[in-house]
Amino acid sequence: MKKLQLFLSAIFLTLSFGLAQTGYARTDDYTVKPIIPENQSNKDLGYFDILLGADKEQTLQVELSNNTEQEIKIDVTLSSAVTNMTGLVVYEPTEIVADSSLKYNLKDYVNTPKVVTLPPLTRQKLDLKVKMPNEAFDGQIAGGITFSKEGQNDKEEDSEGITVKNTYSYTIALLMRQNDNEVSPDLKLKTVSPSQINGRNVINVNLQNPTMTYINTMNVKATISGISNTDIKYTYSNSMMQMAPNTSFDLPIPTSNQSAATRVSEPLKPGKYRLQLVVNARTDNQRKI
């Protein structure tokens, strides 16, 4: 385990614009259960965390059960792990763009059927064919396998004509490593820019983890102070955040009135600002749930 401390202060930005003020999963229909292999790092985990040599191949298995008296089809989707704007690692498919530091995207190294048909009241094993990259590396490839029942995206209307969608999916994380060597942590500040979330003004601080290791237990404290106008001050703090290997995310610092119950969004004023950002975190080779 290694500790990481990042202190960023006296970082200047100029705003010359005007924004408007404005594991094991079960449903009644089916179940999904990973079959833990012998080369699993910890057999008590409810997801895959395998140790496999460079250029080696392996077949992992997931047990699918149809608990209904009708045939059902399950969509299977592979995705690389990403970090969302709240500092949570996401293993299911998203619209988040892969970071530029990502060299090995998990979906390029796993093959599996895209659709599985389950007859009524049956149990079936699904093969996941894994191939490790032929290059040696320290760290982890991280991602997930998502299972969702077909037909859930069909629109349904209630008696008042309101459209309702109920969709359920289950994701099993898959971590792949070649060894147990520790990876030195790194955290980079990439950009600082104005933006909006749900009509509220924020200042996005883009943080990047360019290494093949998790950054766990991230505690973030940020202060943005006006240089042109010293009366302006925005503060933000968050604890127990996490970043997946080779990912980046925009940390949104709100420009709202932090003392007000309604947290009314304030318009960003043109001028120069100073960002002071302190991040304390630790890394290890284990995904934390």
- Per-residue pLDDT, 283: 57
Count CA atoms closer than 13 A to 175's CA, side-chain side: 25
CA distance 127 to 109: 14
C-alpha angle 137-138-143 in degrees, rounded to nearest 5: 90
Q: What are the structural domains, with CATH classification, of the chain? A: 2-21+183-283 (2.60.210), 25-177 (2.60.40.10)
Q: How far apart are CA 121 and CA 131, in angstroms?
A: 32
Q: 222: which strand partners?
A: 236, 277
CB 25 within 8 A of CB 32: yes
168-209 per-position pLDDT tens digit: 889 999 999 999 999 988 999 999 999 998 888 899 999 999
**What's the pLDDT tens digit per position in 62-83?**
999 999 999 999 999 999 999 9
pLDDT in tens, 3-36: 554 444 434 443 333 322 225 555 678 999 999 9
- Note if the pTM is more than 0.85: no
**In whole angstroms, how large is the CA radius of gyration of the chain?**
22
End-to-end distance of the chain based on CA atoms, in angstroms? 17
Give dist(CA 244, CA 105) in Å, integer: 12
**Torsions phi, psi for 106 (to 5 deg):** -55, -40
For residue 32, the one-letter residue type is: V
